[in-house]
Amino acid sequence: MINSVPSSTLESFKVEARQLLTEAIANNQQQQTSGGNVVDVLTLGNQPVDAGTYTAAAAGADSAGDILTNAYKQLREMFANTLHEQGIATKVATGNGEIDLETLTPEDAQALIADDGYFGVDNTAKRIFDFATGLAGDDPSRVSAIIDGIKDGFADAEQAWGGALPDISYATRDSLQEMLKEWSGQDIDLAG
């Protein structure tokens, strides 16, 4: 899936996502310093009117938390639109169901990457392990081909990501390394 998204599109998405997050944080800080309300100031004939005369909550947001929630929703929509533009599905099969990226909440995302979540370190490492050893015909003598494939995959992912991957990716690689070590009976180094 990563190979089908041009790197310029990914980079553009990352820039827009950072910009959106920066704006949300700035709006949150501004709202906190103004007592939780966005303040409009009206001047007539260059005579300032008391700033307390007219206040309104931020459009669609009643609190600082709402602003961040709205920013998350905007980021999620932007991500989904980018996937749609590239012809990439926004639904991901999870074995016993599917995840719709267009409706995913922050709580759902946290549950998915939790220790026992579908995308948790050990569960993801196990799926990679099962796939790789299955391709190798469950033959431990082919472990070097598996190692090369995994190293190449991580290198491609790092390049697509623009450098280092999130920590969870490296923790998954470490868990996978232990599974391969136990399966093959060999000392395995996926990091090198």
Let me know whether 114 and 70 are in one domain: no
Half-sphere exposure of 70 (CA within 13 A, CB side): 15
Return the minimum-mean-pLDDT range out of 34-48, 84-98, 133-147, 173-187: 34-48
Residue 49 domain flag: yes
pLDDT in tens, 57-68: 444 445 666 776
pLDDT in tens, 89-133: 788 888 788 888 888 888 988 998 999 999 999 999 999 999 999
Residue 72 domain flag: yes
Let me know whether 10 and 83 are in one domain: yes
Residue 142 domain flag: yes
**Number of independent structural domains in the chain:** 2
Let me know whether 143 and 185 are in one domain: yes
pLDDT in tens, 138-173: 999 999 999 999 999 999 999 998 999 999 999 999
Let me know whether 75 and 8 are in one domain: yes
Residue 174 domain flag: yes
Burial 110-134 (b: 16+ CB within 10 A, else e): eebeeeebbbbbbbbbeebbeebbe
The residues facing 99 across adjacent strands are 92
Among 71, 92, 113, identify where a domain stops: 92
Residue 82 domain flag: yes
Residue 21 domain flag: yes
Return the minimum-mean-pLDDT range out of 12-26, 73-87, 143-157: 12-26
Instruction: State the Cα–Cα distance between residues 8 and 31, nearest whole angstrom.
Output: 34
State whether residue 166 is helix, strand or coil: coil
The answer to whether residues 150 and 188 touch, using CB atoms and an 8 Å cutoff, is: no
Let me know whether 3 and 81 are in one domain: yes
Q: Which residue's entry shows tokens 């220790």?
A: 115
Q: Model-level pTM?
A: 0.58
Q: Which domain holds residue 84?
A: 1-92
Residue 98 domain flag: no
Residue 62 domain flag: yes
